[in-house]
Structure 1
Amino acid sequence: MITSILRKIRDFRKDTRGTVAVETVVMWPGLFLAMLAMAVLFDAYRARSTTEKAAFAISDMLSRETAAVNHDYLNGVHSLFDQISTLRSGHDLTVSLVTWDVINRTHQLVWSHSISRDGDRDETSWDNADMLAMSQDLPTLVNGESLIVVQTQSVFSPPVIMKRWWGENWNGFPMNTLVFTRPRFVSNLAWSDA
């Protein structure tokens, strides 16, 4: 009796039928989740890359402007930014002109205007208190020099259902950019309320 039990155990151990099916069932969920994670990470990297490229393009476009800009111009810039960026969510765009105060050794805000995700003028434009918080991110300038600062705020939401995994508080990954450029052909980028 013991020999028959040992023989059955030995035969079971040597039997290789069905191992591919068992390995497939064990490995498939892990492989599926790994492929899904790679696709989400690739999409996030692509969205981050195109958003940064769009911010640099907008900043470069503004740095070459010789005429005064206004809200219509910023609405066009916002539309162009939406076209260049691959994010499906909207974008908040803030354009500011900053100069250097050599006496106080601080950045001074000349003007700042924002366009919200829905294309309306937004009240989230910078003020001098924001400049103090932002100063460590901006370079030191010489007296009379100015910078065009373009800040974008958007949210990356992967195409997979993340709320099911992280709950209803899931709002996506914030993707913010801060780009600064010196005006190329004029000393300051002028603002016009017209």
Structure 2
Amino acid sequence: MQPFVPQSLRRFRRESDGTSAIEFAIILPVMILFFLGALTAFDGYKASRTLTHLDSTMADLISRQVEITNAFEDDLVQVATALSGKYQGNMQIQVTAASVYRPLSDPIDPSGVNQSVNVDWFMSRDLEGNTGTQTAQALIEGLDIPLLTPGDSVIIVEIAGLYDPLFDGQFITNVPMRRIAIRRPRFTQRVVTAPGYTPSS
């Protein structure tokens, strides 16, 4: 003998009109989460590429100089501001550059392990023209500087920023980004400071 089931319950069991709506309501938050995550990841990639391009451009511009002036430093900040695009306001971008050279008195070591370098000049500025927080010692510490012959030099440029994700939250926070480019001077052995140059850092 079959148990008695009211007709209304039997009709409810067979009803499927709202199934799609319920499934969509369950899947929609996951879809939105994936979309926002992909959008944030793509924007982070663009920010990283922007810093890489900016770093390479700054290093190339400095390597083409024979001497550094305060006016040239100001021009570098303006170029960096233009190239940083939409990230100039929210990434706290800082431009740091230095020229390091190997003294003539430094004994030649083919392995390059024991080469010593001195800082010729150093600058650190943010995009508003203010003095940056980076130091020359922190810039070159632990850096893999190419092997130099005594008297030669290289230009080191660092672009640092703090990427603020489009949709940050508990699991996504500000991401520090740092790019370093090293170039040899193109038209001189050492890029020096011009007479009357005042260090910004």
Q: Same fold (TM over 0.5)?
A: yes
Tell me the distance in 2 between the aligned counterparts of 1:31 and 1:83.
36
Amino acid at match of 2:52: E
Worse-superposed segment, 38-47 or 107-116? 107-116
* Deviation by residue 1:121-164 (Cα, 9 ceiling, x = unmatched): 3463313x753x233x322223322110001111111233x2xx
RMSD: 2.8
Contact 1:147-1:180 within 8 A present in 2 as well: yes
Which is worse superposed, 174-183 or 5-14?
5-14
Report the Cα distance in structure 2 between the residues aligned to 1:71 and 1:13, rounded to whole angstroms.
81
Unaligned runs of 5+ in 1: none
Evaluate the alpha carbon distance shift between residue 171 and residue 55 of structure 1 in structure 2; reply closer, same or farther with a 3 A threshold: same
Q: Provide the residue aligned with 1:189 in structure 2.
A: 191
Kindly indicate whether the alpha-carbon contact (under 8 Å) linking 1:75 and 1:115 is maintained by their aligned counterparts in 2.
no
1:134 aligns with 2:138: no
Match of 2:153 among 146, 152, 163: 146
- TM-score by length of structure 1 reads 0.81
Partner letter of residue 19 of structure 1? T
Answer yes or no: is the 8 Å Cα contact 1:55–1:177 preserved in 2: yes
In structure 2, C-alpha distance between the alignment counterparts of 1:108 and 1:4, rounded to whole Å: 95
Q: Secondary structure at the match of 1:34?
A: helix
Cα distance change, pair 82–142 in 1 and its aligned pair in 2 (3 A): same
Residue deviations 1:31-88, cap 9 Å, x none?
001000101110010011011101101111111123x112221121012112112313
Q: How does 1:90-105 map to 2 (within 5 A)?
A: 90-101=92-103, 102-103=106-107, 105=115
* TM-score, scaled to structure 2: 0.79
Partner of 2:126 in structure 1?
Answer: 116
Identity %: 22
Mapped partners of 1:171, 1:39: distance in 2: 15
- The structure with the greater share of residues assigned to helix is 1
